[in-house]
Structure 1
Amino acid sequence: MLAYLFPGQGSQVRGMGGDLFDEFPDHVALADDILGYSIKKLCLQDPDQQLNQTQYTQPALYVVNALSYFKQLKMDGPRPDFVCGHSLGEYNALLAAKVFDFGTGLKLVKMRGELMSRVRDGGMTAVLGLTITEIQNLLHQHGLHSIFIANYNTHTQIVISGPQKDLNHACSIFRENTSASCIPLKVSGAFHSPYMSEAQQQFSEFLEEFQFHVPAVPVIANLNASPYHPAVIRTNLSAQITHTVKWTSIIDYLLTHKGITLKEIGPGQVLSGLLASIKAARISRESIKSASV
């Protein structure tokens, strides 16, 4: 069995897709027409330093992920049995599952990026070295109810969202009470949290303009780490903006399928690194269980 994993924000880098744009001129031309600018120039040159701005990051990654997938198919690569994507990457998973076509997906991603970029309050911080339970307990003990779990990346790499001053306070608490470290993320707002509710509502209304197909292969959702049901595609896509990306749970679900191979499709190796960490933790847990029997 085979699963394809598509990366999200954080995997972008200037120069990405350099071997793809000339190979898929029709898709590139369509992307330029939808976006109103040259996607190739943005990804390869980034002359205006826009690649790390979410309204540009999201379309850029969607296009490069998509072209990477198309090249995989062009090389007679095997069709996946499952697909999933980290946050923005979920749109590429839905594309691979034929829920919508390339152009439709790009229109959705373009609007998603624009709406999310308008939320200028708050930020996101990666917490390394604590479990999700440890983080939640410390936040509760210190009354930091303004902070939410945004990304459950691995068992000890958790991203939190909230007002910047509260994130700073939380990190001070983590450092004082544990050996954890914090890394502020370069984003414009508190993504994957209730602070994005206005963007979610506007995106939900935008989604009503589109029709979606039944997934050709199971798409494992960020929202609940379960296969998409055709009836909840719109609900899942809008809710994803304000809810936790349950990446660890997604990988755990996929790994329950014996002999499955997980392959990252897109720029970089961010998801491959997370996968290695999740697998190591899984082996450790299984070893402990075996030793206790």
Structure 2
Amino acid sequence: MSVLVFPGQGSQFQGMGRRLFDEVTPFLENEQEVDRLLGYSVRQLCLADNDERLRQTRYTQPALYIVNALHYFQATAAGEHPAYLAGHSLGEYTALMAAGAFGLLDGLRLVKMRGELMAEATGGGMAAVLGLSAESVAHVLDEPALAAIDAANFNSPLQTVISGPADKIEQAEAHFLAAGAKRYARLPVSGAFHSRYMIRAADRFSDYLKGFSFRPLRLPVVSNVTGRPYPAGDPDKVIRAFLTAQITRPVLWQESIAWLRQAGERRFSEAGPGQVLSRLIADIEEALTAPSALTS
């Protein structure tokens, strides 16, 4: 058994899914409807991207959702039978689709709206802080000058992403480098995702979610919001609440992987373009199995 993990925004690249578009039957059966729903060819976007739209949130999110799904369908056709599913931010939608919460097309409708709403939240920025623990990052963010910034992604023991107004993200660089960060990398986004600044988008998305019904999960999906599997209960209420909260809450990726390891899982397979999550998981596992972690 294994854990299938699905990457989120930042993993996209021109050419992603190239060898899968013509091989994955569930996509081929729905390609015309996918393109009609989006208003453009997702295949053409991923393979050519002549206008560099893959850098834009409203296009990135649907494209990644579809390519993640291609990888999922390929993996299951090859005999993969995961025990758990997890996705990073946008990737959680593919995990929920794979668990049976909704079909491929309803999931696409959700991420299309999510991407459009998040793209409207301009004036923000994000940055990855590398080489500092989450505790050290929190200590720096306690400085009065950085009160407008939130922690957005807890990706690994020494990688935390922060989110806030673009000018504050720019100013924060000097503070983190002074605190010992090895690198401060501003991300190519125009919104302060997974932060207090996404509340309006979350409220509008919550209203949109009311038009969907969700099915019980066939497999456990580990939530970004809690770092634990989605709880039992009415799937309409639970999934709507968690997907709404995910827009403003930080991604607890490190905690999610730690929980899965505590549950006995050791084999993680990345179903999507690139190896971003695989590298993060390797860093998390290295920290969890280090002598200091084993004796603490």
Amino acid at match of 2:172: A
**How has the CA–CA distance of structure 1 residues 132 and 74 changed in structure 2, closer, same or farther, with 3 Å as cutoff?**
same
Q: Is the 8 A contact 1:7 1:265 kept in 2?
A: yes
Q: Is the 8 A contact 1:58 1:113 kept in 2?
A: yes
- Please report the TM-score for the alignment, with normalisation by the length of structure 1: 0.95
1:76-122 deviations in Å (ceiling 9; x for gaps): x2221100000000000001100000000000000000000001021
Q: Which residue matches 1:73? A: 76
**How has the CA–CA distance of structure 1 residues 174 and 278 changed in structure 2, closer, same or farther, with 3 Å as cutoff?**
same
Separation in structure 2 between the aligned mates of residue 290 and residue 82 of structure 1, nearest angstrom = 25
**Which portions of structure 1, spanning 4 or more consecutive aligned residues, are displaced by more than 3 angstroms?**
289-292
- Please report the TM-score for the alignment, with normalisation by the length of structure 2: 0.94
Correspondence 1:149-168 to 2 at 5 A: 149-168=151-170
Q: Which residue matches 1:178? A: 180
1:243-279 deviations in Å (ceiling 9; x for gaps): 1000000000111122531111011000000011001
Q: Which residue matches 1:280? A: 286
**How has the CA–CA distance of structure 1 residues 208 and 289 changed in structure 2, closer, same or farther, with 3 Å as cutoff?**
closer
Identity rate, percent: 47
Q: Which of 260, 263, 277 is residue 257 of structure 1 equivalent to?
A: 263
How far 1:179 sits from its partner (Å)?
A: 4.0
**Structure 2 residue 18 is matched with structure 1 residue 15:** no
Amino acid at match of 2:191: G
Separation in structure 1 between the aligned mates of residue 55 and residue 146 of structure 2, nearest angstrom = 29
Separation in structure 2 between the aligned mates of residue 65 and residue 152 of structure 1, nearest angstrom = 22
How far 1:138 sits from its partner (Å)?
A: 1.5
Q: Which of 93, 96, 100 is residue 94 of structure 1 equivalent to?
A: 96
**Structure 2 residue 233 is matched with structure 1 residue 227:** no
Q: Which residue matches 2:48? A: 45
Separation in structure 1 between the aligned mates of residue 181 and residue 156 of structure 2, nearest angstrom = 17
Q: Which residue matches 2:198? A: 196
SS in 2 for 1:5: strand
Separation in structure 2 between the aligned mates of residue 289 and residue 63 of structure 1, nearest angstrom = 38
SS in 2 for 1:216: coil
Amino acid at match of 1:262: F
Q: Is the 8 A contact 2:95 2:221 kept in 1?
A: yes
Q: Is the 8 A contact 1:153 1:246 kept in 2?
A: yes
Amino acid at match of 2:292: I
**How has the CA–CA distance of structure 1 residues 259 and 73 changed in structure 2, closer, same or farther, with 3 Å as cutoff?**
closer
Q: Is the 8 A contact 2:287 2:293 kept in 1?
A: no
Correspondence 1:103-252 to 2 at 5 A: 103-229=105-231, 230=235, 231-252=237-258
Separation in structure 2 between the aligned mates of residue 16 and residue 178 of structure 1, nearest angstrom = 36
Q: Which moved more, 1:25-34 or 1:213-222?
A: 25-34
Separation in structure 2 between the aligned mates of residue 214 and residue 188 of structure 1, nearest angstrom = 35
Q: Which moved more, 1:17-26 or 1:30-39?
A: 17-26
Name the count of aligned residue pairs.
289
Separation in structure 1 between the aligned mates of residue 121 and residue 284 of structure 2, nearest angstrom = 31
Q: Which residue matches 2:86? A: 84
Separation in structure 2 between the aligned mates of residue 260 and residue 78 of structure 1, nearest angstrom = 15
> Unmatched 5+ residue regions in structure 2?
none
Superposition RMSD in Å: 1.3
Amino acid at match of 1:21: F
Q: Which moved more, 1:161-170 or 1:92-101?
A: 161-170
> Unmatched 5+ residue regions in structure 1?
none
Separation in structure 1 between the aligned mates of residue 3 and residue 20 of structure 2, nearest angstrom = 22
